[in-house]
């Protein structure tokens, strides 16, 4: 059967762009189909704009609190439109990297339009039938909208609209206390909006280490964010121009509602049933080679559920690329996705970063062979110098020093976690982290935490505790 392309990539987000660019550079014939704009959620509605807004909010917070360093900061004025203008400038600065012209220059045929599979071998878009040796579905996800009575009538924002807001609301309720809700909730509070967060559980960011999440919660509360726990938004009404949200017995009156309750995979319009591709509740079902139930179709990124991060989509894209592009060989020896060492960070202030297992997961899997090495930032001199003593590094290991996971909550946690990620990826013992670190830097928090295992082992060694004093006494008497 003669086909038109080596690979047809469906979806121009993070994963799809990696596959298309790399395949084209390897001289494959590639078509990239995108219904809207290249760059996906990350560029337009996710990582790039959110971190830009977070930075503007952090600057506002630091200016307002500069008096603790003896710097006058009276009468601080926040121009919300200009702060959001910074967000748009950053998007426009990065967008050329993901532009159609750049990919066409690589040799990728970029096709804009909403298409669907018409059989197991053909994808149709704009009336054109595309055939390929293999297809890659990377259509991403969208914000989930729960069926709350009155919500649509009252109006709401998701991450797809919030970065286009030019007039700051005086008050906002954030429905959902996961990473996105916490990041944006804190940012709007710092930019002058009174924020109330509704958490369906007793812990914000429930996937994180409870002790680390509690540090972030304490900071949110200190900054004036209200958190309603163990509650859900039951109904919404629009009364006298205000949005009234009922959460249990509490009535919350605000100017705006921001939804942050999870993501839904973009699969509905693809007609995957015609292609013989199985879809579950979380998205397209794939095996460890990221191959679907149709051997000619692969999938990566948010559309398969799992870890919904840009860097994971990029990693999965590499696995997909090698398997799909070199399928005659790879069908016997496929590359497989390995999620043992997947880091992520929530960019609240303080930041919260994680890799590997939590302490609870480690204890369930390894029993008593677990050590928890916890180092507070307050004992790190650079943290003291910068008044950034909130938080800690927690490294979970076996008693022999195998790193099982790590959690850092504090200043620059998203940067500091990478030293531990590198050690885990290369199967290094925690002792590798005790090497020389520049003084004074925040990275000392990792070396100090790692050193705790050696200190603990020495303290538990009764022979050395007894032998060394006698040994040193003998040396002194010679």
Inter-residue contact 340 to 356 (CB < 8 Å): yes
Q: How far is CA 370 from CA 223, 354, 366, in A?
A: 36, 17, 7
Domain that holds residue 225: 151-262
Beta bridge partners of 116: 124
Q: Is residue 340 assigned to a domain? A: no
Q: Are residues 390 and 269 in the same domain?
A: no
Q: Which of 277, 302, 330 lies at the terminal end of a domain, its last residue? A: 330
Q: Are residues 225 and 370 in the same domain?
A: no
Q: Are residues 86 and 175 in the same domain?
A: no
pLDDT score, position 2: 86
pLDDT score, position 88: 93
Strands 109-112 and 30-34: parallel
SS3 263: strand
DSSP letter string over 390-434? --EEEEEE-TT-BEEEEEEEETTHHHHHHHHHHHHHTT-BGGGGG
Please write the tens of the pLDDT for every residue from 337-394: 999 999 999 999 999 999 999 999 999 999 999 999 999 999 999 999 999 999 999 9
CA angle, 263 as apex, 269 and 42 as ends, to 5°?
Answer: 90
CA 292, CA 314: separation in Å to the nearest integer?
18
Q: Are residues 235 and 368 in the same domain?
A: no
CA 381, CA 438: separation in Å to the nearest integer?
12
pTM (predicted TM-score): 0.94
Q: What single DSSP character describes residue 157?
A: B
Q: Are residues 117 and 208 in the same domain?
A: no
Inter-residue contact 100 to 38 (CB < 8 Å): yes
SS3 15: helix
Q: Are residues 14 and 128 in the same domain?
A: yes
Query: Using alpha carbons only, how large is the chain's radius of gyration in Å?
Result: 26
Q: Which of 233, 262, 291 lies at the terminal end of a domain, its last residue? A: 262
Q: Are residues 133 and 272 in the same domain?
A: yes
Q: Are residues 160 and 134 in the same domain?
A: no
Q: How far is CA 208 from CA 36, 78, 407, in A?
A: 34, 32, 8
Q: Rounded to 5 degrees, what are φ and ψ at 30?
A: -130, 135
- 389: alpha, beta or left, given left = phi > 0 and alpha = psi -120 to 50? alpha
pLDDT score, position 361: 95
Inter-residue contact 28 to 325 (CB < 8 Å): yes
Inter-residue contact 203 to 181 (CB < 8 Å): no
Beta-carbon contacts of 61 under 8 Å, excluding residues fewer than 6 positions away, are: 190, 223, 349
Q: Rounded to 5 degrees, what are φ and ψ at 296?
A: -95, 0
Q: Are residues 231 and 362 in the same domain?
A: no
Q: What single DSSP character describes residue 39?
A: T
Q: Are residues 157 and 34 in the same domain?
A: no
Q: Is residue 382 assigned to a domain? A: yes
Q: Which of 217, 236, 262 lies at the terminal end of a domain, its last residue? A: 262
DSSP letter string over 297-333? EEE-GGGG-S---HHHHHHHHHHHHHHHHTHHHHTTS
Q: Is residue 336 assigned to a domain? A: no
The CATH number of the domain where 284 resides is what? 3.50.50.60
CA angle, 215 as apex, 214 and 221 as ends, to 5°?
Answer: 85
Q: Is residue 455 assigned to a domain? A: yes
The CATH number of the domain where 380 resides is what? 3.30.390.30
Q: Are residues 10 and 139 in the same domain?
A: yes
Q: Is residue 321 assigned to a domain? A: yes
Total domains, the chain: 3
Ordered per-residue pLDDT tens for the chain, 478 residues: 788 999 999 999 999 999 999 999 999 999 999 999 999 899 999 999 999 999 999 999 999 999 889 998 788 889 999 998 999 999 999 999 999 999 999 999 999 999 999 999 999 999 999 999 999 999 999 999 999 999 999 999 999 999 999 999 999 999 999 999 999 999 999 999 999 999 999 999 999 999 999 999 999 999 999 999 999 999 999 998 899 999 988 999 999 999 999 999 999 999 999 999 999 999 999 999 999 999 999 999 999 999 999 999 999 999 999 999 998 887 888 999 999 999 999 999 999 999 999 999 999 999 999 999 999 999 999 999 999 999 999 999 999 999 999 999 999 999 999 999 999 999 999 999 999 999 999 999 999 999 999 999 888 888 888 998 898 898 999 7
Q: Is residue 222 assigned to a domain? A: yes
Q: What single DSSP character describes residue 440?
A: S
Q: Is residue 344 assigned to a domain? A: no
Please write the tens of the pLDDT for every residue from 46-99: 999 999 999 999 999 999 999 889 998 788 889 999 998 999 999 999 999 999
Hey, what long-range contacts does 68-74 have (CB within 8 A, 24 or more apart)? 68/387, 69/387
Q: Is residue 341 assigned to a domain? A: no
Q: Are residues 59 and 39 in the same domain?
A: yes
């Amino acid at each position: 059967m003669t086909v038109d392309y080596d690979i047809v990539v469906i979806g121009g987000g993070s994963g799809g762009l990696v596959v298309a660019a790399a395949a084209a550079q390897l001289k494959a014939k590639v078509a990239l189909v995108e219904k809207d704009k290249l760059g996906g959620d990350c560029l337009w509605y996710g990582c790039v704009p959110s971190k830009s807004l977070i930075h503007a909010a952090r600057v506002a917070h630091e200016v307002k609190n500069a008096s603790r360093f003896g710097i006058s900061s009276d009468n601080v004025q926040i121009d919300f439109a200009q702060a959001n203008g910074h967000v748009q400038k950053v998007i426009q600065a990065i967008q050329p990297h993901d532009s159609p012209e750049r990919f066409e220059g690589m040799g990728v045929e970029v096709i804009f339009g909403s298409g669907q599979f018409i059989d197991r071998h053909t994808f149709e878009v704009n009336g054109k039938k595309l055939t390929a040796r293999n297809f890659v579905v990377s259509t991403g996800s969208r914000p989930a909208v729960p069926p709350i009575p009155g919500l649509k009538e009252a109006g709401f924002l998701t991450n797809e609209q919030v970065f286009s807001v030019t007039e700051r609301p005086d008050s906002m309720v954030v429905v959902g206390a996961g990473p996105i809700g916490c990041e944006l909730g804190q940012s709007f509070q710092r930019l002058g909006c009174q924020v109330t967060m509704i958490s369906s559980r007793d812990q914000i960011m429930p996937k994180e280490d409870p002790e680390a999440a509690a540090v972030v919660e304490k900071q949110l509360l200190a900054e004036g964010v209200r958190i309603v726990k163990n509650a859900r938004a039951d109904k919404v009404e629009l009364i006298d121009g205000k949005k009234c949200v009922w959460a249990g017995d509490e009535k919350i009156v605000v100017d705006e509602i921001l939804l942050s309750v999870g993501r839904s995979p973009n699969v509905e319009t693809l007609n995957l049933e015609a292609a013989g591709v199985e879809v579950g509740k979380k998205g397209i079902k794939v095996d460890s080679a990221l191959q679907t139930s149709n051997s000619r179709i692969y999938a990566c990124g948010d559309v398969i559920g799992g870890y919904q991060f840009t860097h994971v989509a990029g990693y999965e894209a590499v696995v997909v690329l090698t398997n799909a592009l070199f399928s005659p060989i790879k069908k016997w020896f496929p590359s497989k996705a390995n999620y043992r060492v997947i880091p992520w960070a929530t960019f609240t202030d303080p930041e919260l970063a994680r890799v590997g297992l939590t302490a609870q997961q480690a204890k369930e899997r390894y029993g008593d062979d677990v050590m928890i090495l916890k180092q507070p930032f307050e004992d790190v001199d650079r943290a003291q110098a910068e008044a950034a003593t909130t938080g800690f590094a927690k490294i979970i290991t076996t008693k022999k020093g195998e790193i099982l996971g790590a959690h850092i909550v504090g200043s620059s946690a998203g940067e500091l976690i990478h030293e531990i990620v590198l050690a885990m990826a290369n199967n290094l013992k925690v002792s590798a982290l005790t090497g020389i670190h520049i003084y004074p830097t925040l990275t000392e928090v990792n070396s100090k935490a790692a050193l705790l295992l050696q200190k603990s082992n020495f303290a538990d060694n009764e022979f050395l505790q007894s032998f060394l004093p006698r040994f040193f006494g003998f040396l002194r008497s010679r």
